[in-house]
Amino acid sequence: MSAPHGPGDTTERDRTDPLPPGSRVGNWEVTRLIGSGGWSTVYAARPARGHPGRPDVALKVMPTAGLAPRQARRIVESARREVELGRRAGHPRLISLLESFVLAEPGHPALRGAIVLVMERAAGSLRELIDAGLPETDRGRLIAGICEGLAHLHRSGWVHADLKPENVLLGADGTVRLSDFGLATELTGTHGYAPPLGTLDYFPPERWRAPLGELGVRVRPTADIWALGVVIHEVFTSGCSPFPGATPMARGAAVQEYGAGRAPLRMDHAIPPFWRELAADCLAPTHEARAPHTAESLLARITAHRRGPGAGTGRPGGRARAAVLATALCGIAGAALYADVPAPPGRAGPAPDTVRVYNAERACREDGGRDPGCSLGLAVDPALPYTADNVVATRVWHGDLLTADCRAPDGQPVVDEEDRRSTHWFRVRLPPGSRPSTAWLPAVRTRDRPTLPECP
């Protein structure tokens, strides 16, 4: 998905767009065009009149009218993938799918039968950040966020199959959200099958010679690892590919030469040694050589590097900048089921009417301080999406003891960074003088399970 950059980039389709600002789509009102691709257009939207209290969203509109049957089936299948993945694999590092529906627009024949995906609204993309000049202090944090999202996808049995900076979105708090799962593939055993589509610059060597079968092209999680290696190189080189060539096809030829052992891997020496080594492991020339470097193992290496001497960038103020960017939320809604998490062994639980805050990020548990980047948000309303628009001003930290007076078992589902999932929320009291006087803590943000009545 690409956004128009100015009048010179506006296409004829953009000028005759059937959904100008003010258009009503379901319960949403279009505010502007975000971007368009070959099969879909994405709009910014807000709740329409009569539907207040909901957050601003992004609408992904996928028209099917006038297409050949094979093309229409491809779009329907792409939408099905996104809905299925959103329903079954929600996570703080994946963009949330809020709802989906099919349009019936008698006044706009081109939109009749279009599929609409209502998604969490992001503040921007990694591509935009790279183009604008990505701060050195943010690079490791963003790559770690991508690894977290990939690790969850792969654990859940999915391959993204189209990882690139355009599909790495950033929340208002600066945190990573992987997006655009139209090519995401569910694994059946060690591999899955995807349509013969994607972005050439991120294809691993084996994809270029993969046979096209009845089910599509075979893909495995190592394809995402290869794409991650390309993204890491771009993050540290202002968007440059590790493979030479003036066009995607030329760069693809260089990838194939490297994969066949006829050319070495040449990465920019401006990349710091740790990240150059990490990217080189991601860009191992074969699936077999890449397989040991899972998203989880890469994330563990990044975490250890950032904690060690000279962690992060080695510059003072790097942690402070990350803290400024992380002042909204450390959790996000996702399709989920409730899962009880027992209290950690060896620690007596609090009294039945209290809950102790638990931060799933290990670095925040070990820090022991009150770093703003480790603070957690409390929701205003557990029935609304857990986003920056739905949190109170009061922040909490790992280990804080909160008084809880009741529970809501059927709130918005939330998934934490350790894949714990819950629809349960606890209503907690805020310090005297706070407005409002109570707020809501997701059950995944505590290990305690007090016996409390349901809230009225």
Measured CA to CA in angstroms, residue 372 lies from 145, 323, 416, 418, 436 at distances of: 18, 5, 18, 21, 21
| Secondary structure (DSSP) of 440-451 | EEEGGGBS----
SS3 212: coil
370 burial type by CB count under 10 A (0-12 exposed, 13-18 middle, 19+ buried) = exposed
- Would you say 95 and 122 are in contact if contact means Cβ atoms under 8 Å apart? yes
CB < 8 Å & 24+ apart, contacts of 305-311: 305/140, 305/274, 306/140, 306/144, 306/363, 307/363
Indicate the SS3 state at residue 176.
Answer: strand
Provide the b/e sequence for 56-85 (b: ≥16 CB within 10 Å): ebbbbbbbbeeeeeeebebbeebbebbbbb
The secondary structure of 156-175 as a DSSP string is TTEE-S--SGGGEEE-TTS-
Of 114, 13, 26, 11, the residue nearest 62 (C-alpha): 114
439: three-class secondary structure by DSSP: strand
Cis previous bond, 436, omega within 30: yes
DSSP reduced 3-state for 191:
strand
164 labelled binding-site residue? no
Residue 138's nearest CA partner among 391, 325, 303 is 325
DSSP string of 85-147, one letter each residue = HHHH---TTBPPEEEEEE---TT-GGGTT-EEEEEEPPSEEHHHHHHH---GGGHHHHHHHHH
Contact 124, 169 (CB under 8 A): yes
- End-to-end, the C-alpha distance of the chain in Å comes to 44
Instruction: Count how many Cα atoms sit within 13 Å of the Cα of residue 59 in the half-sphere of its side chain.
Output: 28
Which 3 state secondary structure label does DSSP give 364?
helix
Annotated binding site for ATP: 60
Residues annotated within a binding site: 60
